[in-house]
A and B are shown apart, each in its own frame.
Chain A
């Protein structure tokens, strides 16, 4: 088994001091993604800000950032955060299918939560809408956790059905006969649920990967573990030692099995920071798991985790992303290769292929099924 490396690129608004305003430039993301690609990383995860204060920018929209990288870095997976609470499923399905198609099947969707920049906006909607056309989010904050979870489950279900509303083989492009697509393979979904009503089909053709990879950064609570294990293809968990990580991985796989999922279709990575020997001391000490010292030592330590089946990869949060990623590419990855835990992935594969996940077929329910 080989180890997967990925990197987290978080934009937590201008309050974040450690990244300069260069993160508002494409050059920043380009440099980061190209270095990550050079390090044969599986993916870069892009997360925007979820602050509620409108006086601060929401940060760079992760879908926009990921899409701009699609033409710049042509091999790495691009995982973009989109909140489960903030958008209509038609928007989510369109954005993710588009990113997947434009990147040749490299899209992941980081399942985030919360309403970005809602501020006073949500409250105003109720009053302003003489047009009786209120946006579908106004009462999310007043919901009980159980209802919020149901709403998220519904959104995910609708989004999957929208991706599936174009079956494989729908596109014919028969110039002679004048058939662009076979209409029998393109169907509305007629979803009428408690929170969403969506007719479909999607106006973007089926994603290259069938379904983009659903990713989730696990929070430390039982409810979130059940949610992630039931929905996500790729989970990033947190643990301090291999033993704890192994137990946690087992718990996730157990919950996934209980949800009726095939354990082979679930990848688990662990969050880690790196403190390279001789690097400038950072303002903040990393929290949680940190690998320290020389690249050689980090690689040895990492391989101990993989040998013990504690994890399948490390999701890196770097204090000085642009400086640290170069050392990952030039020092850590060669050391991991020497340990035999890191291969050279083939060029131009989909994110699912990089992660060893199969491509889901389109599933159609009967029409009008709730």
Chain B
């Protein structure tokens, strides 16, 4: 048996205009956001870079800021089905809620995408933390955190059961299962079901701890730890030189508003940050000790840790966001990615481009060749399925059963 060199896995978050308040910048083309040809260009750029998969999150309610933030022209399943027809190899990973979908519909939709894309479908199993969604789906109330995971457990087992039972074999055996919540319950769920884990980890040591934690939980359940990939979100800010990168970063932050950011974070942390001095470290006694939030519990905890760990001011916190940000020259960013990868804080990254399409172009044209030169990233796709890109075992031929 050949032992393969461990290689990075890179997803491209490719829906929309970029990660952050960037639509007003000259760098983006919001008027093309609903244009299929624009979206196909993005997908083909990522495929040119031999990236593992395209990824799109999903929301089941309109933004409460339709005035100031772009709204989508399409939901991701429809878009990615269209992209399946315009690409050959790249994986197609979509979030779909276990709370607001039935198992049969999910199983059938992802099986359909898997068939038509020739084995490139991945399902990011989300439980939908956004409270307002219930009012769009004839539900009396928002389902609270732990009950959402109870339901998710049932829905996922039912869907997996259907894929196994159905007569028409799927190109991948079953679509790749992805998970993105990092709360205690979320980690348990991930260790049972997920083959890929998306997580927000801006701090190296915490990321290593998370990595070790999820892998050992999976291991304890009899799964191979290398069959659970940990992919933290990464916002890369790369230009030709360090100076140009600084300039780019400054431009990207043009419309980052400390005021509205502080308001948003205050709601999230259930702590008033708006009255604090924007440039002095946030006083620790103002913060709750642990997150008991019903929403994105792990995300709240992460922000609390980040403030404590780095003694951030409100302005720094708003600009940082919750995802890992790496800015610098190509070599500098590649060095940091390599370090995270080699020190086992990550098996790769879910790349959140700070602006599109340019942010993806520079990633694919600068960073990927650098990573390839270091032997850290593939130069060609080895196989045709997403499962094969991720190095995950085929399903349906005596692979170990996921246990409850």
Neighbouring B residues of A48 by C-beta, 8 Å: 108
Contact (Cβ within 8 A) A98 B24: no
Q: Mark B46-69, 1 if CB is under 8 A from A, else 0.
A: 000000000000011111001111
Q: Which residues between 101 and 136 of chain B lie within 8 Å of chain A, taking CB atoms?
A: 101-105, 108-109, 111-113, 115-118, 132, 135-136
Choice from B75, B147, B151 contacting A98 with Cβ under 8 Å: B75
Q: How far is the CA of A136 from the CA of B69 in the complex (A)?
A: 32
Q: How far is the CA of A62 from the CA of B157 in the complex (A)?
A: 24
Contact (Cβ within 8 A) B168 A21: yes
Assuming the contacts A30-B85, A58-B104, asked whether A178 and B116 have C-beta atoms less than 8 A apart, the reply is: no
Contact (Cβ within 8 A) B36 A29: no
B4 on the interface (CB 8 Å rule)?
no
Neighbouring B residues of A69 by C-beta, 8 Å: 85
B95 on the interface (CB 8 Å rule)?
no
Choice from B68, B78, B150 contacting A179 with Cβ under 8 Å: B68
Neighbouring B residues of A58 by C-beta, 8 Å: 104, 108, 111
B82 on the interface (CB 8 Å rule)?
yes
Neighbouring B residues of A71 by C-beta, 8 Å: 36, 40, 82-83, 85-86
Neighbouring A residues of B67 by C-beta, 8 Å: 179-183
Contact (Cβ within 8 A) A203 B104: no
Q: How far is the CA of A71 from the CA of B115 in the complex (A)?
A: 17
A320 on the interface (CB 8 Å rule)?
no
Contact (Cβ within 8 A) A101 B34: yes
Choice from A65, A88, A119, A197 contacting B116 with Cβ under 8 Å: A65
Of B159-167, B235-243, B293-301, B334-342, the one with at least 4 CB within 8 A of chain A: B159-167
Q: How far is the CB of A184 from chain B (nearest CB, A)?
A: 9
Contact (Cβ within 8 A) A205 B143: no
Contact (Cβ within 8 A) A203 B71: yes
Neighbouring A residues of B77 by C-beta, 8 Å: 63-64, 67, 95, 98
Contact (Cβ within 8 A) B82 A180: no
Q: Tally inter-chain residue pairs, CB-CB below 8 A.
A: 208
Contact (Cβ within 8 A) A61 B71: no
Neighbouring B residues of A180 by C-beta, 8 Å: 23, 30, 66-71
Q: How far is the CA of A307 from the CA of B136 in the complex (A)?
A: 48
Q: How far is the CB of B20 from chain A (nearest CB, A)?
A: 14
Q: Mark A179-222, 1 if CB is under 8 A from B, else 0.
A: 11111001000000001111111111100000000000000000
Neighbouring A residues of B308 by C-beta, 8 Å: none
Q: How far is the CB of B131 from chain A (nearest CB, A)?
A: 12
Contact (Cβ within 8 A) A55 B167: yes
Q: How far is the CA of A90 from the CA of B59 in the complex (A)?
A: 12
Contact (Cβ within 8 A) A181 B66: yes
Q: How far is the CA of A25 from the CA of B132 in the complex (A)?
A: 38
A254 on the interface (CB 8 Å rule)?
no
A14 on the interface (CB 8 Å rule)?
yes
A173 on the interface (CB 8 Å rule)?
yes
B79 on the interface (CB 8 Å rule)?
yes
Q: How far is the CA of A244 from the CA of B150 in the complex (A)?
A: 57
Q: Among the interface residues B24, B79, B136, B165, which one has the most CB atoms of the partner chain A within 10 A?
A: B136
Nearest opposing residue in chain A for B136, CB measure: A90
Contact (Cβ within 8 A) B72 A203: yes
Choice from A30, A60, A102, A137 contacting B112 with Cβ under 8 Å: A60
Neighbouring A residues of B63 by C-beta, 8 Å: 203
Neighbouring A residues of B255 by C-beta, 8 Å: 178
Contact (Cβ within 8 A) A136 B85: no
Contact (Cβ within 8 A) B78 A63: yes
Q: How far is the CA of A95 from the CA of B112 in the complex (A)?
A: 15
Choice from A170, A173, A198 contacting B138 with Cβ under 8 Å: A198
Contact (Cβ within 8 A) B116 A26: yes
Q: How far is the CA of A9 from the CA of B154 in the complex (A)?
A: 34
Neighbouring B residues of A98 by C-beta, 8 Å: 73-75, 77-79
Assuming the contacts A14-B168, A180-B70, A198-B135, asked whether A102 and B82 have C-beta atoms less than 8 A apart, the reply is: yes
Contact (Cβ within 8 A) A67 B79: yes
Query: Interface on chain B toward A: helix, strand, loop, or mixed SS?
Result: loop
Assuming the contacts A98-B79, A180-B30, asked whether A199 and B108 have C-beta atoms less than 8 A apart, the reply is: no
Q: How far is the CB of A123 from chain B (nearest CB, A)?
A: 13
Q: Please give the number of chain B residues whose Cβ is less than 8 angstroms from any Cβ of chain A in the complex.
A: 68
Nearest opposing residue in chain B for A87, CB measure: B105
Q: Mark A148-184, 1 if CB is under 8 A from B, else 0.
A: 0000000000000000010000100101101111110
Q: How far is the CA of A82 from the CA of B71 in the complex (A)?
A: 24
Q: How far is the CA of A119 from the CA of B139 in the complex (A)?
A: 23
Neighbouring A residues of B69 by C-beta, 8 Å: 180
Q: How far is the CB of A52 from chain B (nearest CB, A)?
A: 10
Neighbouring A residues of B158 by C-beta, 8 Å: 121
Assuming the contacts A57-B168, A90-B60, A116-B104, asked whether A29 and B116 have C-beta atoms less than 8 A apart, the reply is: yes
Q: Which residues between 31 and 59 of chain A lie within 8 Å of chain B, taking CB atoms?
A: 48, 54-58
Q: Which residues between 355 and 373 of chain B lie within 8 Å of chain A, taking CB atoms?
A: none
Contact (Cβ within 8 A) B86 A128: no
Contact (Cβ within 8 A) B112 A65: yes
Q: Mark A311-326, 1 if CB is under 8 A from B, else 0.
A: 0000000000000000
Q: How far is the CB of B389 from chain A (nearest CB, A)?
A: 19
Q: How far is the CB of B78 from chain A (nearest CB, A)?
A: 4
A118 on the interface (CB 8 Å rule)?
yes
Q: How far is the CA of A176 from the CA of B31 in the complex (A)?
A: 14
Neighbouring B residues of A29 by C-beta, 8 Å: 116
Q: How far is the CB of A37 from chain B (nearest CB, A)?
A: 14
Neighbouring A residues of B26 by C-beta, 8 Å: 175
B306 on the interface (CB 8 Å rule)?
no
Q: How far is the CA of A63 from the CA of B158 in the complex (A)?
A: 22
A104 on the interface (CB 8 Å rule)?
yes
Neighbouring A residues of B384 by C-beta, 8 Å: none
Contact (Cβ within 8 A) B74 A102: yes
A232 on the interface (CB 8 Å rule)?
no
Neighbouring A residues of B143 by C-beta, 8 Å: 131, 133
Contact (Cβ within 8 A) B30 A200: no
Contact (Cβ within 8 A) A173 B30: yes
Assuming the contacts A104-B36, A175-B24, A201-B62, asked whether A56 and B85 have C-beta atoms less than 8 A apart, the reply is: no
Assuming the contacts A131-B150, A175-B24, asked whether A68 and B71 have C-beta atoms less than 8 A apart, the reply is: no
A70 on the interface (CB 8 Å rule)?
yes
Contact (Cβ within 8 A) A131 B151: yes
B99 on the interface (CB 8 Å rule)?
yes
B228 on the interface (CB 8 Å rule)?
no
B256 on the interface (CB 8 Å rule)?
no
Contact (Cβ within 8 A) B167 A56: yes
A-binding residues in B (CB < 8 A): 23-26, 30-31, 34, 36, 40, 59-63, 66-75, 77-79, 81-86, 99-105, 108-109, 111-113, 115-118, 132, 135-140, 143, 147, 150-151, 154, 158, 162, 165-168, 255
Question: Sorted from nearest, which 9 A-B pairs have the closest CB atoms?
Answer: A67-B81, A98-B78, A98-B74, A199-B135, A61-B112, A64-B112, A71-B85, A58-B108, A71-B86
What are 6 contact pairs spanning A and B, CB under 8 A?
A64-B77, A64-B78, A71-B86, A121-B102, A203-B60, A203-B62
